[in-house]
């Protein structure tokens, strides 16, 4: 399998690559474990006793049909929903009842949540403001914003307004804002849906490069977005029905194979 992190790093300039490596360091962090995580809404079981083990620095994906519980599970991990049962640990620490602002995560939603009254630069630099520390000096902030915008293919867009961007460009601004914070764990809730296939691939390769020391979880509808993940979890009716790489799941998980076949047929028609 192609090493996407290596390809993403190769696509950067030497200066950008060295700076990002210096800032992130080399020690992976963000090992995540869930045990028996359950969420109910009345008689509906949205998440049904999910157990996950994500090593620090892994690239992990959740896939399944609409309503299978993947976004609910992601929101529980982020602290935006409380589970009815089970626990969540990060690097061995129980964070189940920890509020979202105290978790070392950053979440990018399908709806980009950009501030319409702020420029692209100010939207991205806002990620530094919410990191629980003082914003760096102006020159340092400009450099870091520039690095992130270059990474997502939007260098030169600093002074534009969200209203001047396409949906895919707005999505990339939201990704840049998440990356600039450098948390231990990144959560992407179908955050690449507005991108064309080529841009999706380019951004995923860059993402693997810049998040080498963190854990990444991507919720996606499109198989192409998650095909090269270290592990893919397939959910149905709130429970896990498959876990493995793309090639493994094609052989062992009929629901996954059906999703792949359906999408290939839709692309061919």
Question: What average pLDDT does range 164-189 have in this prediction?
Answer: 86
CB of 109 within 8 A of CB of 93? no
pLDDT band with cut points at 50, 70 and 90 for residue 28: low
Question: What average pLDDT does range 39-53 have in this prediction?
Answer: 95
CB of 8 within 8 A of CB of 20? no
CB of 85 within 8 A of CB of 38? yes
pLDDT tens readout for residues 193-234: 767 777 777 777 777 776 677 888 988 877 888 888 899 999
Mean of the per-residue pLDDT values for the chain?
83
Q: Which residues of 79-109 are buried (b: 16+ CB within 10 A; e: fewer)?
A: bebebeebebebeeeebbeeeeeebbbbbbb
Question: Is it the case that residue 14 has pLDDT exceeding 80?
Answer: no
pLDDT tens readout for residues 99-150: 988 888 888 876 767 899 999 999 999 888 755 566 778 888 899 999 999 8
- Tell me the domains of the chain and their CATH numbers: 4-242 (3.40.50.300)
Question: What average pLDDT does range 229-254 have in this prediction?
Answer: 95
Maximum mean pLDDT: which of 28-32, 67-71, 217-221: 67-71
Beta bridge partners of 68: none
> How far is CA 145 from its chain centroid?
19
pTM, two decimal places: 0.79
Alpha-carbon separation of residue 249 from 229, 234, 255 (angstroms): 12, 9, 9
């Amino acid at each position: 399998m192609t090493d996407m992190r290596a390809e993403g790093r190769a696509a950067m300039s030497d200066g950008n690559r060295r700076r990002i490596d210096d800032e992130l360091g080399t020690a992976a962090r963000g090992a995540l474990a869930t045990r028996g995580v359950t969420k109910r809404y009345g008689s509906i079981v949205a998440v049904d006793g999910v157990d996950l083990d994500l090593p620090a620095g892994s690239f992990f994906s959740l896939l399944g049909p609409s309503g299978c519980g993947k976004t609910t599970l992601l929101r529980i991990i982020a602290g935006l929903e409380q589970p009815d049962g089970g626990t969540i640990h990060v690097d061995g620490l129980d964070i189940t009842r920890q509020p979202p602002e105290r978790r070392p995560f950053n979440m990018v939603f399908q709806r980009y949540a950009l501030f319409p009254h702020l420029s692209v630069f100010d939207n991205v630099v806002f990620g530094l403001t919410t990191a629980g520390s003082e914003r760096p000096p102006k020159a340092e902030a400009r450099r870091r914003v520039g690095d992130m915008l270059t990474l997502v293919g939007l260098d030169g867009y600093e002074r534009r307004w969200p209203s001047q961007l396409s949906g895919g460009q707005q999505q990339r601004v939201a990704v840049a804002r998440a990356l600039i914070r450098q948390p231990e764990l990144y959560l992407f809730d179908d955050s690449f849906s507005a991108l064309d296939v080529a841009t999706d691939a380019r951004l995923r390769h860059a993402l693997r490069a810049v998040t080498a020391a963190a854990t990444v979880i991507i919720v996606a509808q499109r198989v192409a977005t998650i095909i090269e993940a270290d592990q893919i979890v397939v959910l149905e009716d709130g429970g896990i029905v498959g876990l493995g790489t793309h090639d493994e799941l094609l052989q062992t998980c009929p629901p996954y194979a059906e999703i792949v076949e359906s999408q290939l047929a839709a692309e061919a028609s």
